Amino acid sequence: MEATITFDECEHSGDMFNYINDLITCGAKLISYSSNYHCETCNVLVEINDYKSFIIKFKETDSYELSSLNTY
């Protein structure tokens, strides 16, 4: 499945690449990303093959609380 995940508190590229690294470490495959540092947000499009396994791991990261997935 493909998913676009939005992150808050994305003030610079270092923040965005930390979020991307967490996503990849948890099993997502990066497709694309975009940022709006003025609004402190970024969007990351990923492919997730095993969502259940991914979300269990992702919930343990600091990035999870700043992501749109924390509302599910």
CATH number at residue 25: 3.30.70
Residue 4 has pLDDT above 80, yes or no: yes
- For 19-66, what is each residue's pLDDT tens digit? 999 999 999 999 999 999 999 999 999 999 999 999 999 999 999 999
For residue 67, the enclosing domain spans 2-71
Taking alpha carbons only, the member of 61, 39, 13 closest to residue 28 is: 61
Answer yes or no: are the C-beta atoms of 68 and 6 closer than 8 Å. yes
> How many separate domains does the chain show?
1
Residue 71 has pLDDT above 70, yes or no: no
What does pTM read for this prediction? Answer: 0.92
What is the predicted pLDDT for the residue at 40? 95
